[in-house]
Amino acid sequence: MPSNHPRLPYTWPQAIEWPTLLLLVACLGGWVIALFWVAPVSLFGAGLIVTFTLVLHSSLTHEVLHGHPFPNRWASEALVLINPGLFIPYLRFRDQHLAHHQDSRLTDPYDDPETNYVDPMVWNRLPRAWRSVLRMNNTLAGRMVVGPLVGQFMFMKNDLCEALKLDAQVIKGWALHVPGVILVLWVVLQSETPVWLYLVSAYAALSILKIRTFLEHQAHELARGRTVIVEDRGILALLFLNNNLHVVHHMHPRVPWYRLPALYAANKGRYLRRNEGYLYHGYREVFARHFLRSKDPVPHPLWPSAE
């Protein structure tokens, strides 16, 4: 992760963005309904709804860190500071994701906090078992099954190293996160939803989110050719709040989720020229091509190797 923490956006909406705010209210409402009203009838149904609401909540958190839905930053961030998904502190997600938006650093094994590529010289020194895990993680099936564990391990390992160096921002992120985790688990305990089921649902939500992040970025000599378009308008696109139109989001990070499809449709040729034609026609194609096949090597193919 870059040593300097990224600046927050300077401009915020001039008025409340109601679609985002109302969707967040609906998301949290569905979460409460699942815990307290669906669970007594069907644990499977409750787990399914909790999973989907946690995926949607993560996507809404992404909207907040990009400056939605309130004109005031503090008001917006107060909406998502408590993460019902448990695993990622909001402030850490915000800082790392804004650092990731420096397009010149996309896929960089050191400076892009969200990359899955590894420096080839580091790869050559990794234990064989860990290489096998990372190769599995580079198929879509593996990314969904072991990806949340791999990602959480690497994320917490790096944050622990930074915390031991007394990085104030990292310490603050976790210090604000832990009370929220305790509060969420307390709410779960008041319901008839077992904690084990809630944890399984939270893991399943991360697995679904891995579908979106799996091929968002590829190794490419040109920075503009590293960001994907997945032309999908189904349930996954809704859960991801149209972030599958990823190059549109990277070019216009302040545009809210509900305007991205029209923006893409009006300028499709421009975006596909911009990203060098890095395109999938839907998540069905993504599954067909990469469910059991690696999308690319784990060691960054454009970095020098000692071998």
Percent of the chain at pLDDT exceeding 70: 95
pTM: 0.93
Between CA 287 and CA 7 the distance in angstroms is 36
- In percent, how much of the chain has pLDDT > 90? 92
Q: How far is CA 187 from CA 51, 52, 194, 205, in A?
A: 16, 18, 11, 19
Domain ranges of the chain: 18-216
**Does the pLDDT value for residue 226 go beyond 90?**
yes
Q: What is the mean pLDDT of the chain?
A: 93
Q: Helix, strand or coil for residue 183? A: helix
The answer on pLDDT for 9 being more than 50 is no
Structure-block tokens of residue 307: 């071998």
**Looking at the predicted structure, is the pLDDT value of residue 160 above 80?**
yes
Instruction: Note whether 271 and 264 are within 8 A (CB).
Output: yes
Which of 171, 173, 209, 9 minimizes the C-alpha distance to 98?
A: 9
Q: In whole angstroms, give the CA distance from residue 100 to residue 223.
A: 12
DSSP one-letter string for 101-170? T-GGGTT-TTT-TT---B-HHHHTTS-HHHHHHHHHTTSHHHHHHTHHHHHHHHHHHHHHHHHHTT-HHH
The DSSP symbol for 223 reads G
The pLDDT tens digits for 234-290 are 999 999 999 999 999 999 999 999 999 999 999 999 999 999 999 999 999 999 999
Query: Cα separation of 4 and 9, whole Å?
Result: 15
Closest CA to 106 of 268, 278, 235: 278
The residue with greater pLDDT, 7 or 141, is 141
Radius of gyration in angstroms for the set of CA atoms belonging to the chain, rounded to a whole number: 19
- Is the model's pLDDT at 217 over the cut of 50? yes
